[in-house]
Amino acid sequence: MMLGTTPELQDRRFERATVLFGERGGRYPQGNSILVEGRHETVILDPGLGVIPRRAGLPRVDRVLNSHCHEDHVAANHLFPDVPWHLHALDLPGIQSLDGLMAIYGFPEPIDSAFRRIVVEQFHFVPRADPTAFHDGEVFDLGGARVRVIHAPGHTRGHSFLHVEPDDLLYLGDVELSSFGPYYGDAWSDLEDFEATLALARRIDARFYATFHHIGVIDGKAAFLERLDRFGAVIASREARLVAFLSEPRTLDEIAAHRFVYRPQDAISFAEPVERRSMGQHLHRLVARGAVREIEPGRFLTRGA
């Protein structure tokens, strides 16, 4: 079965799952969604923008499962208004209202107002008053196919992996294995939870691993672990660069302006709050470990410098 409608929108078919690749390999704002067809039900995982031009060619969808609540992962939820939408209980407020979604990001003004328009106009955000919560370990039995929830927080509070059987396909959501590295810059993100999730991912055996962005599908655990290690190493790289930067006294404002997450030349409207939250978490734990000291209120210096 080929559901792709253009050369950029192809798919990869397994026994029960079909990976629907977004344009440019699912590079943001696109993403790679997954259709899982059982004998009794069909579900779609993280319907992104690439699902919209495919809609007419899809079979009947009985449920939507979102790995977490971010604008790109729910961009085509609105195509399925008459079926249940499922998210982890901790991310449920994000789909219930636009205010709830914006609380996940935690952007200050005027970034908040501008991003609200983007979420609605470019990502077709539609709130749902009655979404259904799922929890860690919950299993959706579709008849000859199953989808198991594995809570994997850090990117958001409710971020979850979804394991598709019998294909033995582990969908990683936004543990996207790219060179950019882990994203933990939202108000609802947590660096140490993300690190625990990376450790969890290492322990999960699967035949195939799929990401929402960039990578797509990886065959085999050895190739997956190689990617996972490179992805996770970005955290240590950011922290080491921060320690070096603090060889002279710096404030959090100066740290955010220096750009440890995004490149200085990247025109990202929300870069400042993301840098502040991401590197603020690194700074907090460096101080707690005694590697960095606060030499006066709001000014930090590497110990021994």
Tell me the C-alpha to C-alpha distance, in Å, between residue 188 and each of 102, 128, 155, 216.
10, 20, 8, 25
| Domains, the chain, ordered by start | 11-233 (3.60.15.10), 244-299 (no CATH)
User: 242-246 long-range CB contacts below 8 Å, 24 or more apart?
Assistant: 242/279, 242/282, 242/283, 242/286, 243/286, 243/291, 243/292, 243/302, 244/302, 246/292, 246/300, 246/301, 246/302, 246/305
Measured distance CA(300)–CA(211) in Å, rounded: 37
pLDDT digits over 71-124, tens only?
999 999 999 999 999 999 999 999 999 999 999 999 999 999 999 999 999 999
Q: Are 149 and 63 in contact (CB under 8 A)?
A: no
pTM: 0.95
Q: Give residue-wise pLDDT tens across range 109-165.
A: 999 999 999 999 999 999 999 999 999 999 999 999 999 999 999 999 999 999 999
